[in-house]
Amino acid sequence: MKLEKIFKSFEGDEYPIHAFPLVISKAIRKTAFYHNVPLAMAGQAYMGEMAYIAQSKFDAPSDKSEDGQPCSLFVLTIFPSGEGKDVCKNDAGKISRKIDSENMHNFQIEYDNWQYLPKKEKREPPKNPISVFKKATTQGILSAMASGESNSFIWSTGEGAYLFSGYSLKSETVGESLSILNDLVDTGKANNILKNADNNEYFDNKRFSLDISVQDIIAKPALHNDLLREQGFLARVLFAAPQPLPHKQITMETRAIKPHEDEDLKNYWKLCEKILTTPYMKD
């Protein structure tokens, strides 16, 4: 059976795939096919990624402000463990994670060299370029955004317990943490004055998204939590909870398929690289 026939035999779900630009929708379909996941699972990963790579370059039109508002998003996907959350994120975020890793590698070298400079030759230390968080706290995110080099950040993980069972939402400061995350998504601003802190966190015109995939057992208590619901945190969510697809038999034909050679995925990765490496894109 040829790849085209295999792909045509793959049936998706009711996720609004038509709302994505063609180059992205094609990539979503291929990711869903190769990893045998619902379109909703793949689509959520790509939507979070596209918000991250575009949010520092564009603002979304808004009826609330003539200047628009951040096109930052909070994407939440409930899906079982081991069913394809991470591989979808790997496809969607391949280019940005590669660039972020290279930036961090270069930063570490530069910082190590800076540390060994004679005191009279020392200048300001290099700025940390990290922009993708996996395990974090709200205070850690504020600090990284305030002192970091990037203008675009995302908390992206397939282990949603880092958010919902982590320190920020399980401590006595949960209400404050929710307000901070709401403000970061809505405005990209922070003015956080800390007691006895040398460097208080202040910044403006930075962008922050969340792309959280989580198992049902972790998400259920959060979805029924009055504080998370009433404080507007869950009201900002673009939510999907698709059912896993039946496991498909691996054949010699499907075993020979190499997703990294797929033209639709390569076209999507080229688009990501263009957006991420072009200082300003008019179109």
Q: Is the pLDDT of residue 161 over 70?
A: yes
The amino acid at residue 91 is D
Q: How far apart are CA 234 and CA 51, in angstroms?
A: 18
CA-CA distances (angstroms) from residue 141 to 138, 204, 234?
Answer: 5, 14, 19
pLDDT tens-place string over residues 86-125: 999 999 999 999 999 999 999 999 999 998 888 877 788 8
| C-alpha gyration radius of the chain | 20
Q: How far apart are CA 77 and CA 215, in angstroms?
A: 8
Tokens of 64: 């609330």
Q: Is the pLDDT of residue 80 over 80?
A: yes
Query: In this predicted structure, what is the pLDDT of residue 50?
Result: 94
CA-CA distances (angstroms) from residue 175 to 196, 207, 213, 220?
Answer: 22, 21, 22, 19
Query: In this predicted structure, what is the pLDDT of residue 32?
Result: 93
Mean pLDDT, all residues of the chain:
84
* Residue found by looking up tokens 């995939």 in the block: 213
Please name every residue paired with 76 in a beta bridge, in sequence order, or none if there are none.
212, 239
Tokens of 87: 């591989």
This prediction has a pTM of: 0.85
Query: In this predicted structure, what is the pLDDT of residue 193?
Result: 63
Q: In the structure, what pLDDT confidence band is assigned to residue 155 with cuts at 50, 70 and 90?
A: very high
* Residue found by looking up tokens 């370059």 in the block: 57
pLDDT tens-place string over residues 202-255: 888 899 999 999 888 888 888 888 887 787 888 888 989 888 887 776 666 666
Q: In the structure, what pLDDT confidence band is assigned to residue 128 with cuts at 50, 70 and 90?
A: very high
